[in-house]
Amino acid sequence: MISRSKYLVWLFAGLFLLLLGIQVYFMYKTYQVKKREIYTSVLSKITKHIDDLEDLGELDEQDKKSSKNILTKYAHKEISKKEFLNYFTENRNKTRNKLSYYIDSQFKKEGYNVAARIVYLSIISIPDSTKLIKNPIIFYETNNKVGQPGVSQTGKWETKSTSTSGKNDTFKKTDSFLIRSKTDFEILNINIIVFKELTLLILCCIAILLSVLLLYIFTVNNLIKQQKQVEVLHTVVDNISHEFKTPIATLKIASKTLKKEYNPEIFPLIDRQISRLEDLMLQLHAEETIEGNSKIYGEDWDFFVNDLAFTYPDTVFKLNNFSPEVLPFDKKLMETVIKNLCENSVKYGASKIFMELKTIQNKLEITISDNGIGMEKKELNSIFEKFYRIQSNNIHNSKGLGLGLFFVKKIIENYNGKIEVSSVVNEGTIFKIFIPYEY
């Protein structure tokens, strides 16, 4: 049974981890799809205006250093490599703010913080196939730098430039250049945007996981409780025979005494032990309503103590009875209270048990103290629970059903009374009972 419970616990844990893994994988894939979808929309929106970006460099109509003229002059070695590269640097710095404003205006409504750049990967002069640049050159760039491009688009086109020479500029020459470029985009706040759009889905996934986890915890707790109940019930079944042995043994002793010699005092003892057996049976059905209608007399308390002393000859029992001669309590129920508490003391090592009965303003006060092994403070709130037994190392050395104190409390509560307990480990335990009454 225990191994089966452990197997079920591990099975639940494995299934929960599997579900957690599936949820994480699902969320990751959903995040990737949503991110790709956003980047696709950004690219499709800006692609329509890529050609317009090329015009951003023409800020000054009188500026003769247009990109085409620069390419032609550099191809004809009219300017140095340094001047050629400086042009791209100046153009990038000159167009940075305008490009940033252009990009921001395109995605202001969506709240995208987009970084963009246009990189010339290669510039080849046609037809001699001369490479004008060896390394990529950033031609346009926003104020926000592109770190890890979310999407890139490459392109290739041919541009032509016409130059004149000779007297009166009569000789015209057309130069062609093959340019391969790449446009990079990065949404700097892409994670925030994606998580905002997936908030509801994330909350639903978390709610599902928490629900499964709570169900798992609830199930495990129930399994643990049921396991404890099963263990308690097994202990109860094992101890039922022991509980019945006490009155049976007493009856056997009385029977042997009768065989040897006739003693009229033995018959009341036999009757009380038979009643004791009936009480033990009643405790197995302790949930039923307890009713008491008869009265108890002063001598009855002495009989209870005598029976205990007869059954446990190695234990000293002392009774101080200051109560009235007659009390309106059921004799059988009071016997159950006294004997259950005293026998409980004997089971847990008491060699001396002191009982005192007194009345104060129509309230019976019963005090039972012993010099047993005592109980820890944490046990005191649980000892009156049904089937509960002290969780000590020698729990199996003290047989019992775990019903005695439960039944005692039920009887006292039926009389609208209360029971208190205090205990010190290795010193002893004191039970105090207060029961109101009216004649």
Residues 182, 269 share a domain: no
- Report the alpha-carbon distance of residue 202 to residue 221 in Å, rounded: 28
State the angle between helix axes of 404-414 and 331-347 in degrees (0 to 180), rounded to the nearest 10.
150
The pLDDT of 404-425, averaged and rounded, is 90
Residues 288, 384 share a domain: yes
Is 206 contained in some domain? no
Residues 235, 106 share a domain: no
Residues 150, 253 share a domain: no
51-60, 102-111, 192-201, 234-243: least confident range: 51-60
Is 205 contained in some domain? no
Residues 245, 185 share a domain: no
Domain containing 408 equals 220-436
Would you place residue 422 in the very low, low, confident or very high pLDDT band (cuts 50, 70, 90)? Answer: very high
- Report the alpha-carbon distance of residue 120 to residue 137 in Å, rounded: 5
What is the bridge-based pairing of β-strands 151-165 and 296-297?
A: unpaired
Residues 290, 432 share a domain: yes
Residue 385: per-residue pLDDT: 83
Residue 285: per-residue pLDDT: 58
End position of a domain, from candidates 197, 232, 248: 197
Residues 398, 280 share a domain: yes
pLDDT digits (tens, 9 = 90+) for 2-57: 556 677 778 878 888 888 888 889 888 988 898 888 888 888 777 665 555 555 44
- Report the alpha-carbon distance of residue 239 to residue 214 in Å, rounded: 37
Residues 287, 138 share a domain: no
Is 214 contained in some domain? no
Is 211 contained in some domain? no
Per-residue buried b or exposed e for 417-436, using 16+ beta carbons within 10 Å of the residue's own CB: bebebebeeeebbbbebbbe
pLDDT at 345 over 50: yes
Residues 248, 180 share a domain: no
CATH of the domain at 233: 3.30.565.10
Residue 49: per-residue pLDDT: 57
Q: Domain tally for the chain? A: 2
Residue in 313, 302, 367, 362 with CA at minimum distance from that of residue 335: 302
- The 3-state DSSP class for residue 55 equals helix
- Report the alpha-carbon distance of residue 132 to residue 125 in Å, rounded: 7
Residue 57: per-residue pLDDT: 44
- Report the alpha-carbon distance of residue 360 to residue 202 in Å, rounded: 67
Is 82 contained in some domain? yes
pLDDT digits (tens, 9 = 90+) for 137-156: 888 888 988 888 888 888 88
More confident: 393 or 46:
46
Residues 152, 248 share a domain: no
What phi and psi values does residue 60 have, to the nearest 5 degrees?
-125, 115
pLDDT digits (tens, 9 = 90+) for 263-273: 676 777 777 77
Residue 65: per-residue pLDDT: 47
Is 208 contained in some domain? no
What is the bridge-based pairing of β-strands 316-322 and 352-359?
A: parallel
Helix then strand then coil, % of the chain, to nearest 5: 50, 20, 25
Asked whether the whole model's pTM tops 0.75, one would answer: no
Q: Over pLDDT 90: what percentage of the chain?
A: 17
Residue in 113, 102, 108, 109 with CA at minimum distance from that of residue 191: 113
Residue 290: per-residue pLDDT: 54
Is 302 contained in some domain? yes
Task: Calculate the alpha carbon distances from 185 to 44, 107, 276 in Å.
Answer: 12, 13, 91
H runs (alpha helix) in 48-80? 50-54, 67-75
Mean residue pLDDT of the chain comes to: 80
Residues 231, 193 share a domain: no
Residue 289: per-residue pLDDT: 45
Residue 62: per-residue pLDDT: 40
Residue 318: per-residue pLDDT: 94
More confident: 342 or 221:
342
Residues 240, 189 share a domain: no
Is 238 contained in some domain? yes
